[in-house]
């Protein structure tokens, strides 16, 4: 592991109110990726407790879906990773974890931002058609089950200006014209993620799938997409249990995985 200065927040100084998510909090001044840092900790140290959170002030090589880079101004946003151990979840149902984590983030932000929040399939967080945040979930498998899940989340909080190559980004600061306490927001997000995760662990798959679909960006709307080099109009109808997106194009029903389709504005 690179020689990176970090500090561990002890329980008595912790503002996190949940049972386990965030109770072991490690903050880092800068790192290439909190997901990478967490993976290295898992491979080289004593077993980490479930719910360990790695939070970085500056993440200079953050990644999103399909290797997209995540831009974040140092000290302005939330860039963090959570360790979960969903051994109860078969590999075939790993998208249910994606659903639960996405819903946890949305539920935490709902009191602040209201009903313009949505989830752009598979797990980007959108506000009124603009990207507020995203995540990268990396699962480490053991047989047919998930041994460890490393959940990297980036959310635009206090940043006011984004580079030209990030044309569709928005932050809480831009929306509501005020700054937010990053640690307090992180605490709320971890609490809601924990609640959604415990619901998943209790077997409430149907409820989670239904709520995820209700929150889906562009659900039931005629919009433009690109797949296999061709542009077309379609309507998002559903997301299969395993996570494929179902579109209606005319009389056709089409299904796509995450790397097979692009949303067009």
User: Residues 123, 152: contact at Cβ < 8 Å?
Assistant: no
Chain segment 64-108, per-residue pLDDT in tens: 544 455 556 888 999 999 999 999 999 999 999 999 999 999 999
Higher local confidence (pLDDT), 1 or 241: 241
Lowest-confidence segment of 26-30, 123-127, 135-139 by average pLDDT: 26-30
What is the per-residue burial (b if ≥16 Cβ within 10 Å, else e) of 9-22? beeeeeebebebbb
Structure tokens at 202: 């209790």
Domain 222-263, what fold? Answer: SH3 type barrels. (2.30.30)
Name the strand (E) or helix (H) holding 213. Answer: helix 205-214
Chain segment 169-200, per-residue pLDDT in tens: 999 999 999 999 999 999 999 999 999 999 99
User: Residues 89, 96: contact at Cβ < 8 Å?
Assistant: yes
User: Residues 34, 152: contact at Cβ < 8 Å?
Assistant: yes
User: What CA–CA distance (Å, rounded) separates 11 from 22?
Assistant: 9
CATH assignment of 6-214?
3.30.930.10
Query: Which pTM value belongs to this model?
Result: 0.91
Each domain of the chain, given as residue ranges in start order, spans 6-214, 222-263
Sequence-ordered list of residues with C-beta below 8 angstroms from that of 122, at least 6 positions apart, any chain: 65, 95, 98, 102, 243, 245, 258
Higher local confidence (pLDDT), 224 or 71: 224
pLDDT of residue 8: 46
């Amino acid at each position: 592991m690179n020689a990176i200065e970090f500090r561990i927040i002890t329980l008595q100084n912790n503002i996190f109110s949940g049972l386990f998510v965030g109770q072991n909090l490690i903050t880092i001044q800068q790192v290439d990726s909190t997901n990478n840092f967490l993976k290295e900790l898992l491979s080289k140290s004593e077993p980490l407790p479930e719910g360990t959170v790695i939070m970085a002030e500056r993440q200079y090589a953050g990644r999103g879906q399909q290797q997209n880079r995540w831009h974040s101004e140092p000290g302005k946003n939330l860039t963090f990773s959570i360790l979960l151990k969903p051994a109860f979840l078969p590999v075939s149902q790993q998208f249910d974890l994606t659903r639960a984590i996405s819903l946890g983030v949305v539920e935490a932000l709902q009191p602040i931002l209201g009903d313009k929040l949505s989830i752009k399939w598979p797990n980007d967080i959108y506000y009124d058609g603009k990207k507020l945040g995203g995540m990268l979930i990396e699962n480490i498998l053991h047989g047919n089950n998930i041994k460890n899940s490393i959940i990297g989340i980036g959310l635009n909080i206090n940043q006011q200006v984004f580079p030209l190559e990030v044309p569709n980004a928005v932050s809480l600061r831009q929306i509501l014209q005020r700054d937010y306490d990053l640690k307090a927001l992180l605490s709320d997000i971890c609490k809601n993620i924990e609640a959604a995760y415990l619901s998943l662990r209790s077997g409430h798959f149907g409820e989670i799938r239904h709520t995820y679909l209700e929150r889906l960006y562009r659900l039931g709307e005629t919009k433009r997409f690109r797949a296999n080099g061709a542009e077309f109009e379609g309507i998002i109808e559903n997301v299969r249990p395993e996570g494929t997106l179902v579109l209606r194009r005319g009389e056709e029903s089409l299904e796509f995985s995450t790397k097979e389709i692009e949303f067009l504005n």
